[in-house]
């Protein structure tokens, strides 16, 4: 391999980590009150729901698919929580997760059995899921008062926010799933070469349905945490554009859209990077509109760097 090729390759694999370190250094020097525990805490709490969704998205993208319905699934969770909170926080959370599971099964069924392209199959639920959520919630924002449930989004364990802990545990679990289980390796093989995987006798349909189901459940978890933090069930706004944030984090983290590879640590770093970028811009009083354009530039840069990955 030539020196340039080696360097390009290195940048492809590690660019996102370099970017995060650079941004941290920049902020440490130029941003007032950046290196405070309070600030880190805020950043991580804000990033946790995106991360949980992005983990599921990374798995789906690893199979050469995409799940556009994650935001709608979060909205479904937000609509379902208030309905069952009367019976206690555990049944409410469980029902929300079941909704995510059913949504994921539906997506997986359309993709694997019916053979619809993932982008179209999940688009149906992107549109319909939020509609259903609004119908369930009667279009209303519902204030929540159950202290045990609200603790999920605001409480601490050993000084670490519960939502952040959950996100970390899930990231470790997804990494283990990807790298250490039969399912994970089959997932990557299906994404890398579906025909070869099928001819190797791999359970292609089961893998696909499983992946979309996991993604649906993770989106529901994210919806539960975000609802708890908000203190209200808000199906109209919950998870809006979340699919794009998640895809961005996954792509920036070095997981190719062409499938066959899942980078969990890269995805985590991708989420952190996008969060840091937004925080940096906000702290320097740049308007949201500028922040969006800069995010776009980062996505283009990430795709450009990854372009030679063959």
Partner 1 sequence: MPTDPVIEVAGVTKTFAGVRALDDVDFTLEKGEIHALVGENGAGKSTLIKVLTGIHTPDAGRVERHGRISTIYQEVNLVPLMSVAANLFLGREPRTRLGLIDRARRDADAAALLGGYGITADVRSPLGTLAVGEQQMVALARAVQAEADVVIMDEPTSSLEPREVETLLGVVAKLHEAGIAVIYVSHRMDELYRICDRVTVLRDGKRVHTGSLAELPRIELVSLMLGRSVTEIRKHGTTAFGEDHHADTEPVLEARDLTSTPRINGVTVSIRPGEVVGLAGLLGSGRTETAKAIIGALPLDRGTVLVAGKPVPRNVKAATRAGISMLAEDRKTEGIIPNLSVRENIVLAALPKLSRFGVTSRAKQDRIVDTFVKRLRIKVSSPEQKVSELSGGNQQKVLLARWLCTEPKILLLDEPTRGIDVGAKAEVQALIDELAREGLAVLLISSELDELLDGADRLVVLRDGAVAGELEGARLTREHVLAAIAAEVMDDADSH
In the complex with partner 1, the residue whose CB is nearer, 7 or 180, is 180
Place of tokens 């998205």: 57
Residue 176: which residues within 8 A CB-CB, separation 6 or more?
A: none
Contact pattern from residue 190 through residue 229 relative to partner 1, giving x for each residue in contact according to CB under 8 A and a dash for the rest: --xx-xxxxxxxxx--------------------------
Residues in region 72-131 near partner 1 by CB under 8 A: none
Which of 183, 283, 291, 294 binds partner 1 (CB under 8 A)? It is 183
Cα–Cα distance for residue pair 280/31, rounded to 1 Å: 8
Can you list the alpha helix ranges (DSSP code H) found in 109-161? Answer: 118-136, 147-154
Which of 105, 185, 244, 294 binds partner 1 (CB under 8 A)? It is 185
In the complex with partner 1, the residue whose CB is nearer, 36 or 181, is 181
Name the 3-class secondary structure at 157: strand
In the complex with partner 1, the residue whose CB is nearer, 121 or 188, is 188
Residues in region 142-161 near partner 1 by CB under 8 A: none
Cα–Cα distance for residue pair 211/184, rounded to 1 Å: 9
Antiparallel, parallel or unpaired: β 142-143 and 160-161: unpaired
180 near partner 1, rule: CB under 8 A = yes
Count of residues for the chain? 310
Cβ at position 117, least distance to partner 1 in Å = 16
Antiparallel, parallel or unpaired: β 232-233 and 156-157: unpaired
In the complex with partner 1, the residue whose CB is nearer, 42 or 193, is 193
Contact pattern from residue 235 through residue 264 relative to partner 1, giving x for each residue in contact according to CB under 8 A and a dash for the rest: -------------------------xx---
What is the sign, positive or negative, of the torsion defined by CA atoms of 222, 159, 46, 240?
positive
Q: Which stretch in 53-61, 105-113, 179-187, 299-307 sits in contact with partner 1 by CB under 8 A?
A: 179-187
Max Cα–Cα distance, the chain, nearest Å: 65
Residues in region 261-300 near partner 1 by CB under 8 A: 261
Cα–Cα distance for residue pair 221/181, rounded to 1 Å: 22
Cβ at position 24, least distance to partner 1 in Å = 31
Cβ at position 221, least distance to partner 1 in Å = 21
Report whether 87 contacts 202 (CB < 8 A).
Answer: no
In the complex with partner 1, the residue whose CB is nearer, 90 or 265, is 265
In the complex with partner 1, the residue whose CB is nearer, 6 or 292, is 6
In the complex with partner 1, the residue whose CB is nearer, 90 or 200, is 200
What is the helix (H) or strand (E) element at residue 232, kind and residue range?
Answer: strand 232-233
Name the 3-class secondary structure at 233: strand
For the beta carbon of residue 76, count every other beta carbon within 10 angstroms.
31
In the complex with partner 1, the residue whose CB is nearer, 87 or 196, is 196
Six-digit token pair at 50?
Answer: 């995106």
Number of residues that bind partner 1 (CB under 8 A): 21
Question: Which residues of this protein are in contact with partner 1, per CB under 8 A?
Answer: 180-183, 185-186, 188-189, 192-193, 195-203, 260-261
């Amino acid at each position: 391999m030539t020196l340039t090729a080696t360097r390009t390759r290195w940048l492809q694999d590690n660019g996102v980590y370099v970017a995060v370190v650079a941004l941290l250094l920049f902020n440490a020097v130029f941003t007032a009150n950046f290196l405070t525990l309070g600030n880190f805490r805020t950043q991580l709490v804000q990033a946790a729901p995106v991360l949980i969704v992005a983990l599921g998205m990374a798995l789906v993208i690893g199979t050469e698919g995409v799940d556009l319905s994650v935001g709608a699934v979060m909205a479904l969770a937000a609509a379902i929580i208030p309905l069952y909170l009367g019976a206690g926080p555990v049944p409410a959370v469980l029902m929300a997760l079941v909704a995510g599971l059913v949504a994921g099964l539906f997506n997986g069924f359309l993709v694997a059995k019916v053979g619809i392209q993932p982008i179209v199959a999940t688009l149906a639920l992107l549109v319909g899921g939020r509609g259903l959520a609004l119908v369930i919630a009667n279009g209303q924002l519902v204030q929540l008062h159950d202290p045990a449930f609200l603790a999920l989004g605001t409480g601490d364990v050993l000084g670490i926010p519960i939502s952040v802990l959950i996100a970390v545990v899930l990231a470790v679990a997804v990494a283990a799933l990807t790298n250490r289980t039969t399912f994970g390796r089959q997932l990557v093989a299906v994404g890398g070469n579906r025909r070869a995987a099928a001819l190797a006798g791999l359970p292609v349909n089961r893998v696909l349905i499983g992946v979309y189901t996991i993604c649906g459940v993770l989106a529901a978890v994210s919806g539960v945490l975000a609802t708890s933090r908000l203190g209200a069930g808000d199906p109209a706004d919950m998870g809006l554009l979340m699919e794009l944030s998640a895809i961005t984090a996954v792509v920036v983290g070095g997981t190719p859209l062409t499938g066959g590879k899942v980078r969990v640590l890269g995805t985590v770093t991708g989420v952190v990077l996008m969060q840091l970028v937004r925080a940096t811009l906000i702290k320097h009083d740049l308007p949201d509109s500028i922040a969006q354009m800069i995010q776009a530039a980062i996505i283009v840069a990430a795709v450009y760097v990854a372009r030679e990955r063959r």
